[in-house]
Amino acid sequence: MNKQLKIILAVTAVSAICGLILGAAYNQTREAIAEAERADFLAGLSEVLPPYDNDPDKDAREIKGTTVYEAKIKGKPSGYAAVFSSGKGYGGHIYVLVGMDAEGKVSGVAVLKHKETPGLGDKISGKDFLGVFKGLSEPGLIAVKKDGGIIDQFSGATMSPRAVADAVSRALEFMRDNFISEEKR
């Protein structure tokens, strides 16, 4: 009998100890991780949004299920940003942070999370690719050349840039509809 008991005891004890260690480690690192991720996100925001003097992630608003971060200068809204994702990526979902200035033009794009093939699709997080989106104001035009847009895809990897373009155009369209009043559009 004691052979079986020893097995139960051993597995349970080891698991419990590991649970304890993990719980402690998680608690100890929880704030630090949240802090680091927030800093990361803020860095992404500042890169994407035009200059601002408020805390965009605090002035966030929920519109139709999407959180939109608002950038302000002395109280006057100077830009908006939102996270959009596209499932059309080669490796799966691609999460993109898109920034728009007060006139409804793209002020910056950053790729937050993607699982594209390293060395191939992951060029989408490169500065030169994302720079292409800056200044565009027509959501319809934002697509890869193959699909009639103006964004040029990389050789050997069309799915990743197409997914990013799709996410950016949807984000721009969403923000323009909600924030840019009729006459400026």
Whole-angstrom CA distances from 180 to 14, 82, 156 are 59, 15, 38
Q: Which stretch binds another protein (CB under 8 A): 62-70, 113-121, 145-153, 162-170?
A: 113-121
Question: Quick check: 10 binds another protein (CB under 8 A)?
Answer: yes
Residue 100 or residue 124: which is nearer to another protein going by CB?
Answer: 124
Residue 17 or residue 141: which is nearer to another protein going by CB?
Answer: 17
Question: Quick check: 43 binds another protein (CB under 8 A)?
Answer: no
Evaluate whether 174 touches 82 at the Cβ level (below 8 Å): yes
Q: How far apart are CA 130 and CA 161, in angstroms?
A: 10
Query: For strand 106-113 and strand 76-86, is the pairing parallel, antiparallel, or unpaired?
Result: unpaired
Question: Quick check: 18 binds another protein (CB under 8 A)?
Answer: yes
3-state secondary structure of 154: strand
How many CB atoms sit inside 10 A of residue 98's CB? 26
Q: Which stretch binds another protein (CB under 8 A): 52-60, 117-125, 135-143, 174-182?
A: 117-125
Residue 5 or residue 183: which is nearer to another protein going by CB?
Answer: 5
Q: How far is the CB of 124 from another protein (least distance, A)?
A: 15
Q: Which stretch binds another protein (CB under 8 A): 7-15, 52-60, 73-81, 135-143?
A: 7-15
For another protein, which residue of 27, 58, 127, 128 counts as binding (CB under 8 A)?
Answer: 27
Q: How far apart are CA 14 and CA 182, in angstroms?
A: 64
Q: How far apart are CA 124 and CA 112, in angstroms?
A: 11
**Where in 127-146 is the site for another protein (CB under 8 A)?**
none
Question: Residue 128: what are its φ and ψ, rounded to 5°?
Answer: -65, -35
Q: Which residues bind another protein (CB under 8 A)?
A: 3-16, 18-27, 29, 32-33, 36-37, 39-40, 92, 115, 117-120, 155-156
